[in-house]
Structure 1
Amino acid sequence: MLIRALCRGCLGSGTQIQILPYTPRHLPPAQTLIPRPCPHCAGNGHHHLAATHRPTPDTDGI
């Protein structure tokens, strides 16, 4: 679900952050995504959606 993507604010430095390709509509955004400033361009005001945790595998029925 998570993909690696280059931060637009620091493409030249090769910094990579993990972002979601889309916002899951079945989950409240406040519980799944939080805006975090990129450490390499926080002064520029760039914010990215970072997952607070990785989704755990579904173990129902096992």
Structure 2
Amino acid sequence: MATPQHPKANGAVWIVIGAAFLAISATGQMGFLGVGLALIVLGIVFMAKGRNDDKDKGPRP
């Protein structure tokens, strides 16, 4: 299985995984709340990094 190489795609994956952990924490498993929030923040960081990388490269051909 190929892994996405673009940081924006990686960020979206981390956000989805974080949302799954938040859904689990909503059932009463409060230990998953911090993990879910950390994964969502990590996804946002990856997406921001991908956005900055796009600005540095200029327009795509």
Which structure has the highest helix share of the two? 2
TM range (shorter): under 0.3
**Larger RCO of the pair (alpha carbons < 8 Å, separation 6+):** 2
Which structure has the highest strand share of the two? 1
TM-score by length of 1: 0.28
TM-score by length of 2: 0.28
